[in-house]
A and B are shown apart, each in its own frame.
Chain A
Amino acid sequence: MRFLDTFFDGAVMAKYLPELLSAIVTTLWISLIVVVAGLALGLVMACLRTLGRWYLTLPIVAFADIGRALPPLVVILIFYFGLPGLGINLSGPMVLILVLGGVLAAFAEEIFWAGLTSVSRGQWEAGRATGLGFGQTLFEIALPQAVRMGIPPLVNRALAITKMTALGSVIGVKEILTVSSSAQSFSGSATPLTMAALAYLAIFLPVVILSRVLEQRYAWAV
């Protein structure tokens, strides 16, 4: 019973539910922007890389490598605490969107690029030989296959990165973890943390299950 009171206190739940709901909305819109912007930017970079110009390829590869190698929390702290020194003041949500969107773009670029390089040379040549331009061959032959191949890893990566919106709690973004942590210290009960865990499960468990379904459906493509 003591366990239930500590982790599932009904009164505490009712008290903090409205705040938590608005925090869920915050988590959701930040996640949405991160996913859309990250995937779009990654796709554009992968397409530019097919042009084979070193002055495009070099910065793209450097960006993708650094984005994949640096822990996002390090970059978040540098943006949030470092940039104001240069007179650049970004809000917490803005920092979170820039950093997580950038990290997703780095991973997405690599996934799209791996897909593009796995389309055999012969298909490119056939496309060009039948009179399609470079752009047409890219967008109508290579890219659809690359995207198809990339869907399962992209879903997994997008999931892992949207879960990182919880890092917003370090820089005061009013998302689920921030709100429930402060509710926990105000109420002196662990219940808000349980609520946070349940909220995250409600959002992400369907995505985890979706990723399983997708993986099975696209199993042949790997």
Chain B
Amino acid sequence: MNDFIDLFFNLDIMAQAWPLLLKGLIVTLQLCGVVIGLGLVGGLLLALGALSPRRWLKWPAVGFIDLFRALPPLVLLVFVFSGLPFAGLDLSPFVAVVIAFFLNNSAYFAEVFRAGIQSVPKGQAEAARATGLSQPQTLAHVVLPQAVRNVLPDLLSNTVEVVKLTSLASVVSLSELLYSANMARSVTYNSSPLILAALVYLAILWPLVRLISRYQRGLAVH
């Protein structure tokens, strides 16, 4: 038991590692901001493309979504980070991570937006158009607000997935939270920094996970 506490919950080592982890946390949060922002915008555009009646818009969008939903994000990341330099494109870890996760996330967000837009009855858009709103106005004021409300739990759970996903950036040595913790582990030969990182992730994500569960329950009760 003492071994266990010493190896996993060593407060001295946690205190030593904390400044490093804090720096890592800031990188993680920056990464989350950029990736979530780009993913939401890209996802919305892709969803509109996938729902478009124009074939030259629809099929490329659907193809993009399916392609990047089928590829593991880590594979995308390694491809962008270690593969593209062969084509003369040398990217910093941060940029590589942003590109790889943008491709992955926008595909996932697109599916959520698509489901949301499809959940709004067609009559709503038709009525809006009939009262003289233009197509973009109809989208912005009538369809999207309802669509987003209908898929809010999915948007939220996707966002949680993105935050968890950023931990993969440690594989390409981007000094985010997990990378810093693992660094501290290998220097101290002690797993406490990893536990501390896990606790930080939990502190950020547990409230969101609870919220998602409550949403699902709320929707289930008729």
- Residues of chain A touching chain B, judged by Cβ–Cβ distance below 8 Å, are 3, 6-7, 65-66, 68-75, 77-78, 81-82, 85-86, 110, 114, 117-118, 120, 159-160, 163-167, 169-170, 176-177, 181, 184, 189-190, 193-194, 196-197, 200-201, 204-205, 207-209, 212
| B165 cross-chain contacts in A, Cβ below 8 A | 71
| B221 cross-chain contacts in A, Cβ below 8 A | 117-118
| B170 cross-chain contacts in A, Cβ below 8 A | 73
> Distance in Å from the Cβ of B104 to the closest Cβ of chain A?
10
The answer to whether B82 and A181 have CB atoms under 8 Å apart is: yes
| A204 cross-chain contacts in B, Cβ below 8 A | 69-72
| B66 cross-chain contacts in A, Cβ below 8 A | 205, 208-209, 212
| B205 cross-chain contacts in A, Cβ below 8 A | 68-70
Asked if B180 is an interface residue, CB under 8 A from chain A, the answer is: no
| B202 cross-chain contacts in A, Cβ below 8 A | 66, 69-70
When C-beta atoms are compared, the residue in chain B nearest to A193 turns out to be: B83
| A7 cross-chain contacts in B, Cβ below 8 A | 83, 86-87
Main SS at interface, chain B: helix
Contact with A along B107-143 (1 / 0, CB 8 A): 0000000000000000000000000000000000000
- In order of increasing CB-CB distance, the 7 nearest A-B pairs are A82-B191, A118-B220, A71-B167, A163-B72, A69-B205, A190-B86, A71-B164
The answer to whether B220 and A166 have CB atoms under 8 Å apart is: no
The answer to whether B216 and A82 have CB atoms under 8 Å apart is: no
| B75, B168, B190, B210 — most chain A CB neighbours (10 Å) | B75
- A160 and B33 CA atoms in complex are apart in Å by 22
If A81-B191, A184-B82, A193-B79 touch, does A69 touch B216 (CB 8 Å cutoff)? no
